[in-house]
Structure 1
Amino acid sequence: MAHFRYLVENVDEAVSFYRDHLGFDLKQQFGPAMAILQRDDLELWLAGPMASASKPMADGTVPKPGGWNRCVLVVADLERLVTELRQNEIPFLNDIVTGPGGKQILCRDPSGNVIELFEPA
């Protein structure tokens, strides 16, 4: 099973997003600090501002949400999902791109983390 950790600004908001829009199930929640969700063989750890993963590094750098590293969610019907997400005002970074391996598009969660939605060819 693959595990990813995303830093988020609001754990409850992030849980709702991943559960309601991307098919994750909530496995465990640790108050407002952290939640663990699962979708197939992917476990997603959502760490809020009060989580240990959000504490400053030794040099004072404070971890924050966002960036270009991302998890890739394989989906069966990309166009349908994109239509549904757009109806729910989920922000996308690009239009659907088709390559030799399939189709993909990038969206963001409520904290700005990038998610790649991918439909294999």
Structure 2
Amino acid sequence: MSETTVNVRYMVDDPLASAAWYVDHFGFEALPNASPAFAAVRQGPLRVLLSGKASSAGRPMPDGAQPAPGGWNRLQLLVPDLAAEVERLRKAGVVFRNDIVSGPGGHQILAEDPSGNVVELFQSAGNW
């Protein structure tokens, strides 16, 4: 693995369906050795590790807490035209948590993968 590789792990309900979602909607490449317990996708130096309940990452914590999908931590994908990207993805059936919001740094929206994990789409206001 290269020093420039960044791994993000998401807990998911179905690793194979989740991998297909990232490939189909965001152009990720599916990595080999996918199974019902674990799959991974890559886009440039970013690898998203998709772990199901049967994976080692799905094992309960010592206090009994169960790893689960969802939450607010997210990866951010930069897009040049957020409105056009949202329109394309809505037509493809992608679910969003919100509408496009604007702030001092740009515009963003939060998409949900099939397990409810968040992917932020971000268009910079030009000061990045």
What is the TM-score when the length of structure 1 is the normalising length?
0.94
Q: How many residues align?
A: 121
| The one of 32, 38, 45 aligned to 2:49 | 45
Give the superposition deviation at 1:35: 1.2
Moved more, 6-15 or 34-43: 34-43
Cα RMSD of the aligned pairs, angstroms, is: 1.1
| The one of 79, 87, 93 aligned to 2:91 | 87
Matching residue of 2:64 = 60
Matching residue of 2:39 = 35
| The one of 99, 114, 119 aligned to 1:115 | 119
Residue type matched to 2:43 in 1?
R
Matching residue of 1:8 = 12
Q: Deviations over 1:56-79 (max 9, x none)?
A: 010111100001111111112211
Q: Deviations over 1:78-100 (max 9, x none)?
A: 11111111112211111111222
Q: Distance in 2 between matches of 1:54 and 1:61?
A: 10
Give the superposition deviation at 1:53: 0.2
Could you tell me which runs of 5 or more consecutive residues in structure 1 were left unpaired when the two chains were aligned: none
Moved more, 95-104 or 64-73: 95-104
1:89 counterpart SS class: coil
2:33 counterpart SS class: strand
Residue type matched to 1:77 in 2?
D
Query: Which consecutive segments of 4 or more residues in structure 1 shift more than 6 A?
Result: none
Give the superposition deviation at 1:120: 1.4
